[in-house]
Amino acid sequence: MCRTLAAFPTTCLERAKEFKTRLGIFLHKSELGCDTGSTGKLEWGSKHGKENRNFSEDVLGWRESFDLLLSSKNGVAAFHAFLKTEFSEENLEFWLACEEFKKIQSATKRASRAHRIFEEFICSEAPKEVNIDHETRELTRMNLQTATATCFDTAQGKTRTLMEKDSYPRFLKSPAYRDLAAQASAATATPSSCSLAEPSHT
């Protein structure tokens, strides 16, 4: 056993392992796919910008606001897995697809991608049809004629509102998240005695 790992109290190591396993309840078989720009996999101790924060603080932040949940890769992955249990993951997948769509610079690629998103999420009988009203669907259809970066804004906004007001509160009340948040609270209360960051194996 490496010296760094050996330095951790056994109970802390067990708690850290269990803590990661709890999130697995959400993440099990949760893949968002390449088109959404996310793998849906847990990033433990990520070093990328804002993601480089204590994992337990990240978990607790998800209940502070829907924006914080969506800004966390771990949060998006957990929420996606929860939505799959309710058979409504298409809402988040559409929102993510729109976020990636806005980053496309090429007009040709944007037009092609816009039609793909419309056919997958918006049109009637789409394989992952999102729950939007007829007016919004027709407005989005008209917007495809120019396919600007904002052509899905209305539909995306309504889908986001639906998730925030409907699915998000249920996610926070789910036994798996409440249990995970309780452990995160306990971890942040005793940071000096037990760190939940994955031990280095160097």
Distance CA 42, CA 31 (A): 10
What length is written for the chain? 202
Per residue in 70-103, pLDDT tens?
999 999 999 999 999 999 999 999 999 999 999 9
DSSP letter string over 29-60?
A: T----GGGT------TT--SGGG-S-HHHHHH
Instruction: Take residue 117 and report the two structure tokens written for it.
Output: 């998103």
* Fold designation for 9-189: Regulator of G-protein Signalling 4; domain 2 (1.10.167)
The arithmetic mean of pLDDT across residues 93-120, rounded, is 96
* Dihedral, 194, 197, 199, 200 alpha carbons, nearest 10: -140
Which pLDDT tens digit goes with each residue over 128-181? 999 999 999 999 999 999 899 999 999 999 999 999 999 999 999 998 899 888
Residue 40: burial class (beta carbons within 10 Å; 0-12, 13-18, 19+): middle
DSSP state of 190: S
- Does the pTM exceed 0.75? no
Confidence of residue 15 (pLDDT cuts 50, 70, 90): low
Residue 29 has pLDDT above 90, yes or no: no
